[in-house]
C-alpha cells in the first residue's frame, strides 16, 4: 500500500498540472481581444488609499490600464517600476493607470509609498478582487492581470502575467 501512495500523489499532481496548462494554452492572453462595446465592461467604484472612490469613468478621453496585482506577487512587483514610468510619460493626457491590489490595505499602502506609485492604488480584499478580474476577462486567475480600455470603451488588451512597457506602448 505504501508504494501506491507516491504514485497516486504523482498522478494527482500531473492531472492538476495538465489542467492548469490546458487553461494557459487556451487563454489568448497577449493579444488584443475582439472589440467589446462600452456596456460589455463591468463597472466599479473602489476607494483609493486616501479613501476617495475611483472608477475608470473618472478619466474621460484617456486610455485606462487596469493593473491587478499584489505585494506578495514577484511578477507584479517587477512590472510596477515600468508602470510608474509609463504614467510619468503618458499620464498627462493619454494614459491613466489604475492599480487594483488584491491584498491587505496596510501592506499595500506601505508598499505604494515605498515605491512612489504615481497612479491611483485601489485595494480589494478577499474574493471580490478575483471576481472583478474574471469579469474583465481573466481566464487563468493569476496575477498580474492587465486590461487596457480605450477612451471609446473598447478593450485594447487583456494580458495575464507580467506585461512589459513595450507591450503597453504598442497598444496606445
The 3-class SS string of 47-105 reads: EECCCCEECHHHCCCCEEEEEEECCCCHHHHHHHHHHHHHHHHHCCCCEEEEEEECCCH
Count structural domains, the chain.
1
Any domain includes 128: yes
Mean pLDDT of 5-33: 41
For residues 29 and 84, the model is more confident at 84
Based on its alpha-carbon atoms, the radius of gyration of the chain, rounded to whole angstroms, reads 18
pLDDT tens figures, 65-83: 999 999 999 999 999 999 9
The pairing of beta strand 155-160 with beta strand 145-149: antiparallel
In this structure, the number of other CB atoms found within 10 A of the CB of residue 80 comes to 22
pLDDT score for 120: 98
Domain of 127, in residue numbers: 31-171
Answer whether residue 35 shows pLDDT above 80.
no
Any domain includes 88: yes
Any domain includes 55: yes
Any domain includes 50: yes
In this structure, the number of other CB atoms found within 10 A of the CB of residue 30 comes to 12
Any domain includes 165: yes
Q: In CATH, what number is assigned to the domain containing residue 86?
A: 3.40.30.10
> What is the pLDDT confidence band of residue 62, given thresholds at 50, 70 and 90?
very high
Any domain includes 104: yes
Which residues neighbour 50 within 8 Å (Cβ) at sequence distance 6 or greater?
none
Any domain includes 2: no
pLDDT score for 37: 41
Q: Give the three cell numbers for residue 167.
A: 507591450
Answer whether residue 152 shows pLDDT above 70.
yes
Q: pTM to 2 decimals?
A: 0.78
Any domain includes 72: yes
Burial (CB < 10 A; 0-12, 13-18, 19+), residue 79, is: buried
Amino acid at each position: 500500500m505504501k508504494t501506491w501512495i507516491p504514485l497516486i500523489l504523482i498522478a494527482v499532481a500531473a492531472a492538476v498540472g495538465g489542467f492548469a496548462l490546458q487553461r494557459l494554452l487556451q487563454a489568448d492572453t497577449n493579444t488584443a481581444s475582439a472589440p467589446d462595446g462600452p456596456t460589455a465592461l463591468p463597472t466599479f467604484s473602489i476607494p483609493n488609499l486616501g479613501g476617495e472612490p475611483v472608477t475608470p469613468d473618472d478619466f474621460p478621453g484617456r486610455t485606462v490600464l487596469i493593473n491587478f496585482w499584489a505585494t506578495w506577487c514577484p511578477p507584479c512587483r517587477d512590472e510596477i517600476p515600468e508602470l510608474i514610468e509609463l504614467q510619468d510619460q503618458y499620464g498627462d493626457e493619454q494614459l491613466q493607470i489604475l492599480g487594483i491590489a488584491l491584498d491587505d490595505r496596510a501592506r499595500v499602502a506601505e508598499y505604494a509609498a515605498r515605491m512612489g506609485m504615481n497612479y491611483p492604488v485601489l485595494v480589494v480584499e478577499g474574493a471580490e478582487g478575483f471576481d472583478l478580474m474574471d469579469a474583465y476577462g481573466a481566464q487563468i486567475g493569476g496575477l498580474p492581470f492587465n486590461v487596457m480600455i480605450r477612451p471609446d470603451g473598447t478593450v485594447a488588451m487583456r494580458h495575464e502575467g507580467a506585461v512589459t512597457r513595450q507591450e503597453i506602448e504598442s497598444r496606445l
